[in-house]
Every structure is written in structure tokens, then in C-alpha cells.
Amino acid sequence: MDGDTVVFDSGERLRVPSVDCPEVGRLGAEEAREWTQRFLDRLGRNVRSAVKTEGPRDRYGRLLMDVTWEGESLSNSLLSAGLAWVYRSHDPDLLAIQARAVEQRQGVHVILDHAVADGPFVLTATSFHRPSCGLIRKRTAELPWSARAIRPFTEGKAPCRRCLSWPPWGPLGGPDLSGSLLKKI
Ligand SMILES: [Zn+2]
């Protein structure tokens, strides 16, 4: 369906835990979807045995499960490619992969060199928000307009799904990044 949600022919839905991909219609969303499709295609028929049907589910009833191929998980590979960011997790391994992808401006992180991605942002334990967001409970810091969005990502804070659509543009909005996005993938 998109990079982090898979719908099987049976109707079973799987959500890759601890990462979030660009929403449909946003820059990088189509690339993330294709990435996950290719990852699952490599598993081929084995995907059926790789996916359990019992396990924890999110509030939408989606099975929370990662998929692994030859020692690499789907979540790790999406993070490495810069097609997802860490979501509600402080797993140091995931944060290290994300820090490297941000440093190298992989995938959608190419936008971090563009001023349009600037704040102000309010940081909480797991996310960053627009200052007016109603989901802010306990703020840990506030970044001024001049601050780039690099710091929240290197600290493992995901863009809020309510007050921020991330990346800030659709595939046709903002500067033309399609060339660099595709090149890096
Ligand atoms: Zn928010």
C-alpha cells in the first residue's frame, strides 16, 4: 500500500514497526512503496512462511511485524535508503542507521539541504511538531526558524503525523528533487 504497510491477497495487513514512510502523494512515497514491493518480491513464495499471522497488532488491526531477507530487515533497508524514518522507537541500532542516512542525504533526506524544511519545531520525546499542535504534551526543546530539520532526525524524532506532512512537498511541489532522489536510490 505504501512503504510501511503491506496488504496481502488474503486481506491481511502488515505494518512494519518502528519506522514511518512518506505518506501517499508525498515526495518519496512512490519510491518507498516500490522499495518494499521489490523487497517482498525477492522473498517470492517464501513470503507466506515469513509472515506469521499471530502477533501484536496496532489499533487499526494491522499485524506489527518486520520482514527479513538474508539477514537484513525491511525496516533497516528502508532506513538505510532514506525512504523511512524512525518512528516511536529509541532503538540505538535503528537510530545509527538513520543518522548515517541523514548524514549522506539518502532518499528523502535530500530535502534537508533546502531551507523550506526549516522550523520552528517543538520537540517532544519521540516527535517534532508545529508549535500549535494539540498533540504536544511535554516539550523537550524548541527550534527556531533558522534551525534545520536535521537535528530532530539525528535525535530520532519523527515528524508528527497530525501537524506535519513529511516531506513538506508532494513529488511535484517545492524544488525539483526527483533527479537526486532517484539517483540516490
Ligand atoms: Zn504535531
pLDDT value at residue 152:
87
Mean pLDDT calculated for residue range 94-102 = 94
Distance 30 CA to ligand 1 centre (A): 24
Distance in Å, CA 136 to ligand 1 centroid: 6
Range of the structural domain that residue 29 is part of = 5-184
Say how many Å lie between the CA of residue 133 and the centre of ligand 1.
4
Per-residue model confidence as pLDDT tens digits over 12-52: 899 999 999 998 888 889 999 999 999 888 887 776 666 66
CA of 54 to the centre of ligand 1 (A): 32
Question: For residue 13, how far is the Cα from the chain centroid?
Answer: 18
Domain count for the chain: 1
The CA 102 to ligand 1 mean position distance, Å, reads: 21
Q: Residue 118's pLDDT is what?
A: 61
**Non-local CB neighbours of 20 within 8 Å, separated by 6+ positions:** 4, 84, 85, 87, 158, 161
pLDDT digits (tens, 9 = 90+) for 127-183: 999 999 999 999 888 888 777 788 888 888 999 989 988 887 766 555 565 565 655
Distance (angstroms) between ligand 1 centre and the Cα of 175 equals 24
**Phi, psi (deg, nearest 5) at residue 58:** -85, -175
pTM for the structure as a whole: 0.86
Q: 20 CA to middle of ligand 1, Å?
A: 15
Instruction: List, for residues 109-126, the tens digit of each pLDDT value.
Output: 888 877 555 678 999 999
Q: What percent of the chain has pLDDT over 90?
A: 38
Instruction: Calculate the alpha carbon distances from 164 to 60, 61, 154 in Å.
Output: 21, 24, 18
The enclosing domain of 101 has a CATH number of: 2.40.50.90
Distance CA 124, CA 133 (A): 11
Residue 155 pLDDT: 85
Distance 129 CA to ligand 1 centre (A): 4
Mean of pLDDT over the chain: 84
Phi, psi dihedrals of residue 7, rounded to the nearest 5°: -115, 120
CB neighbours (10 Å) of residue 177? 19
